Amino acid sequence: MTIQRLAEDSLPYPLRTTMGRIMLHVRSSSPAKGFDGRFPARHHWTCAVPPQAIDVPPASILHVPGPPLGKISWYYIAWYDFWLRRNDKIAQWHLRYGPVICFRPGEVSFASSGLMREIYGTAGKYTKSELFENFMVYGQKPLFSIGPYWEHRKKRMLISSFYHKTSITRPVMEKWLRQNIMKLVAQIERAIVQQHGNEDKAPAKAMLDAYPLFNCFAFDNITHVLFGSKYGAKTIANDCPERKILLGIKQAQMWGPFKFNFPALAWITSKAMHVFPTGIASLLVPDTLRLCLKSEDEMASWNWNTLQTALADLDAVEDYTLLQRMLSCRAKAPETLETPYIAAELYDNINAAQETVAVGLIYLIFHLARQHSWQARIRSDLLSLNIAEDGFPAWTDIDKLSSLDAFMREALRVNPGASGRQERYIEDSKKDYNGICLPIGTRVTASTIALHQDPSVFPHPEEFRPERWLDQTPETLRQMENSFIPFGYGARICLGKALGIMELKMLAAFLLLRYEIATTPEMGDGKSGPMWQCGSIEAVPIGLKGEMIFTKLDMY
């Protein structure tokens, strides 16, 4: 059921001003079945004023290097953001102006590993910007949306150990992950049979779009972690409604900059979908934007209804799930984890895990498809490992493989799974940032792309060189590690890092042991064409597809 948004008579008044923006809070006028009516399905919309830093006059940071127009006009970077080029443009400005730049009134970007550690490390305790309030859901702030350091730390302590490497890579976790990989392989085998038929002479192969398949894989994995085997999604092998929701969510990545930069227009657009007849709304609102808004609501509804069903059948929810962990914490402190907050945290985990893992996977496999010598090298190393009952090595052995680890790191360096838009607020005007002082309230962030493309740390950064991660001196490797932040850094590093790495390495290993992988000419080199990584929050491939050719190896 689609959740209706925004009836005018549902708006609470008066409007309240917070952090320089007028926040227009709305409630769902027709909640989906399962909601109690008090909580909107998706985040609140913000409107009327573009996002600004907190009372920071533009003139107060004119001394910071950066593009002149960017320092005086909010719309300069918004233009590049709208066209999904924000990340690349900021990285280009760093090359021109240095490690500290002002690119928008009241906003500064860093491209220095030392400054990055300062704003993201545990010592600094910087507060997140209000950008993250866009990710509120069910009227709650999940961990990702919490601004103040100490409030975030208190909530994080409830679940952080759940995602620790020793916990998330236990045999029970590896078992179902292997099962999901085999389901994915079965889909490739099915495509081979459909496209290859019974021809014995030609190599058995198939071309398919791997990106939506990887989306399903990541979605099934994270929902299994959250809800367990009975209530976790099963989209890899089934043509189910959740697949359609995932297709719409992919469009949401493309429309994110529009919603964040022009929230008033986004609010009006979402309202028009329900006020006007379908025929008129289809003329006013682009199909992809309508699909995006609808799918976000449907995903929030799916998560809430799945939670309610699981809560009514807790005996079927395994002890190793995040839901059981949060319920255990609630039993000790009921006031800290009410059901809407648990729902918000689960929803946030789904959003964070399914898209970033899917992006990481499609670029890892894309680079493997373009590097056949590395395919052969990693495959040879994999064949030297002990084989489990299902015909593939165990995770502990795969994880130790230096060639695969180096290749994965290089893929994440060139194509990180997120934009790195982790904004913080300056709270001390006397602190020195590379010789520059910034007024209180200035937004600061670190450019992941600029750090990953720093030629002083990564020689010839434009080239894909997995070998740069092998046979380095301890000092060189330390410098590279300090500038390598595909999962973030410090107190708010991605909780799902260990799970994400496990998914990437295991799927790559299984595919390499069964197939020779190639890509189609249409996909290009990743620097242009459908596989160019755009500047959305999740940094997805601009074509929202990844055509791969899987050729079955003789041993299979």
- How far is Cα 234 from Cα 39, in angstroms, rounded to an integer? 27
Task: Write phi, then psi, for 62 (nearest 5 degrees).
Answer: -65, -20
pLDDT for 77? 94
Contact 2, 300 (CB under 8 A): no
Percentage of the chain beyond pLDDT 90 is: 64
Q: Return the DSSP state at 518.
A: E
For the residues 416-430, what does the mean pLDDT come to? 87
pLDDT reading at 300 higher than 60: yes
pLDDT reading at 33 higher than 70: no
Q: Cα 118 to the chain's mean position, in Å?
A: 23
Contact 200, 324 (CB under 8 A): no
| CB environment 240-259: b (16+ within 10 A), e (fewer) | eebbebbebbbbbbbbbbbb
For the residues 116-127, what does the mean pLDDT come to? 91
- How far is Cα 116 from Cα 535, in angstroms, rounded to an integer? 20
pLDDT for 441? 94
pLDDT for 172? 93
Q: Cα 380 to the chain's mean position, in Å?
A: 32
Structure-token pair, residue 127: 């507060």
- Predicted confidence band at 36 (pLDDT cuts at 50, 70, 90)? very low
Q: Return the DSSP state at 126.
A: P
Residue 12, sorted as left (phi over 0), alpha (psi -120 to 50) or beta, turns out to be beta
Which residues belong to CATH 1.10.630.10 in the chain? 121-418+486-552
Report the run of H or E that residue 21 belongs to, with start and end.
strand 21-23
Q: Return the DSSP state at 533.
A: B
Report the run of H or E that residue 443 belongs to, with start and end.
strand 443-446
pLDDT for 536? 66
CB neighbourhood size of 98 (10 A): 16
- How far is Cα 209 from Cα 548, in angstroms, rounded to an integer? 6
For the residues 41-47, what does the mean pLDDT come to? 40
- More confident of the two residues 15 and 146: 146
- Predicted confidence band at 198 (pLDDT cuts at 50, 70, 90)? low
425 strand-pairing partners:
127, 443
Contact 209, 549 (CB under 8 A): no
- For residue 238, the number of C-alpha atoms closer than 13 Å in the C-beta half-sphere is 10
pLDDT reading at 37 higher than 70: no
- How far is Cα 547 from Cα 541, in angstroms, rounded to an integer? 12
pLDDT reading at 119 higher than 60: yes
pLDDT reading at 178 higher than 70: yes
Q: 3-state class of 196 per DSSP? A: helix
The greatest distance separating any two alpha carbons of the chain, rounded to the nearest whole angstrom, comes to: 74
| Nearest-5° Cα angle at 372, 367 to 378 | 85
For the residues 312-325, what does the mean pLDDT come to? 96
pLDDT for 548? 98
Between β-strands 443-446 and 424-425, what pairing exists: parallel, antiparallel or unpaired? antiparallel
Q: Where are any strands of DSSP class E within 162-260?
A: 205-209
Q: Return the DSSP state at 143.
A: G
pLDDT reading at 206 higher than 80: yes
For the entire predicted model, the pTM comes to: 0.89
CB neighbourhood size of 372 (10 A): 12
Structure-token pair, residue 179: 């099962």
- How far is Cα 382 from Cα 384, in angstroms, rounded to an integer? 5
Q: Which fold has domain 121-418+486-552?
A: Cytochrome p450 (1.10.630)
Least confident residue range of 38-52, 210-224, 534-548: 38-52
What is the chain's alpha carbon radius of gyration, rounded to the nearest angstrom?
Answer: 23
Residue 104, sorted as left (phi over 0), alpha (psi -120 to 50) or beta, turns out to be beta
pLDDT reading at 52 higher than 80: no
pLDDT for 265? 82
CB neighbourhood size of 228 (10 A): 21
Q: Which runs of consecutive H residues, i.e. helices, occur in 419-518?
A: 448-452, 474-482, 497-514
Average pLDDT, the chain: 86
pLDDT reading at 408 higher than 90: yes
Contact 316, 228 (CB under 8 A): yes
pLDDT for 53? 47
| CB environment 47-59: b (16+ within 10 A), e (fewer) | beebbbbbebebe
Least confident residue range of 168-182, 225-239, 413-427, 504-518: 413-427
Q: Which of 36, 28, 24, 46 is nearest to 343 (CA)?
A: 36
- How far is Cα 328 from Cα 318, in angstroms, rounded to an integer? 13
pLDDT for 347? 96
- Predicted confidence band at 106 (pLDDT cuts at 50, 70, 90)? very high
CB neighbourhood size of 540 (10 A): 27
Consult the annotation and say whether 494 binds a ligand.
Answer: yes
- More confident of the two residues 286 and 404: 404
pLDDT for 200? 64
- More confident of the two residues 544 and 123: 544
pLDDT for 556? 60
pLDDT for 199? 64
pLDDT reading at 549 higher than 70: yes
pLDDT reading at 124 higher than 50: yes
Q: Of how many residues is the chain composed?
A: 556
- How far is Cα 163 from Cα 234, in angstroms, rounded to an integer? 22
pLDDT reading at 30 higher than 80: no
CB neighbourhood size of 214 (10 A): 25
pLDDT for 251? 81
- Predicted confidence band at 14 (pLDDT cuts at 50, 70, 90)? very low
Structure-token pair, residue 227: 């809800």
